[in-house]
Chains A and B, each alone.
Chain A
Amino acid sequence: QKEVEQNSGPLSVPEGAIASLNCTYSDRGSQSFFWYRQYSGKSPELIMSIYSNGDKEDGRFTAQLNKASQYVSLLIRDSQPSDSATYLCAVTRYTGNQFYFGTGTSLTVIP
Chain B
Amino acid sequence: KAGVTQTPRYLIKTRGQQVTLSCSPISGHRSVSWYQQTPGQGLQFLFEYFSETQRNKGNFPGRFSGRQFSNSRSEMNVSTLELGDSALYLCASSSAGMYNEQFFGPGTRLTVL
The interface residues of chain A, by DSSP majority, are classed as: loop
Indicate if the CB atoms of A104 and B42 lie closer than 8 Å.
yes
Identify B99's interface contact among A51, A90, A101, A103, CB under 8 A.
A51
Indicate if the CB atoms of A92 and B100 lie closer than 8 Å.
yes
Measured CB to CB, the closest approach of chain A to B66, in angstroms, equals: 14
Q: Which residues of B contact A46 (CB under 8 A)?
A: 101-104
Identify A99's interface contact among B33, B42, B50, CB under 8 A.
B33
Indicate if the CB atoms of B45 and A98 lie closer than 8 Å.
yes
The residues in B between 32 and 83 inclusive whose CB is less than 8 angstroms from any CB of A are 33, 35, 42-43, 45, 48, 50, 55-56, 58
Q: Is A55 positioned at the interface, with any CB of B under 8 Å from its CB?
A: no
Interface size range of chain B in the complex: 20 to 34
Interface size range of chain A in the complex: 20 to 34
- How far apart sit A13 and B101, CA to CA, in the bound complex (Å)? 29
Q: Which residues of A contact B106 (CB under 8 A)?
A: 42-43
Bits for A16-51, please: 1 = Cβ < 8 Å to B, else 0.
Answer: 000000000000000010101000001111100101
Q: Which residues of B contact A101 (CB under 8 A)?
A: 35, 42-43, 45
- How far apart sit A97 and B46, CA to CA, in the bound complex (Å)? 13
Q: Is A95 positioned at the interface, with any CB of B under 8 Å from its CB?
A: yes
Indicate if the CB atoms of B107 and A43 lie closer than 8 Å.
yes
For A6, give the chain B residue with the smallest CB separation: B42
Measured CB to CB, the closest approach of chain A to B92, in angstroms, equals: 8
| Contact A32:B100 (CB < 8 A) given known A44-B90, A96-B55, A97-B56 | yes
User: What are 25 A-B contacts defined by CB distance under 8 Å?
Assistant: A32-B99, A34-B101, A34-B102, A36-B104, A43-B88, A43-B105, A43-B107, A44-B43, A44-B90, A44-B104, A46-B102, A46-B103, A46-B104, A90-B102, A94-B100, A96-B50, A96-B96, A98-B45, A98-B48, A98-B58, A99-B92, A100-B45, A101-B35, A101-B43, A103-B42
B residues near A, CB below 8 A? 33, 35, 42-43, 45, 48, 50, 55-56, 58, 88, 90, 92, 96-107
Known pairs A44-B90, A49-B99, A98-B45; list 12 more (Cβ under 8 Å): A32-B99, A34-B102, A43-B104, A43-B106, A44-B104, A46-B102, A49-B101, A95-B98, A99-B33, A101-B35, A101-B43, A103-B42
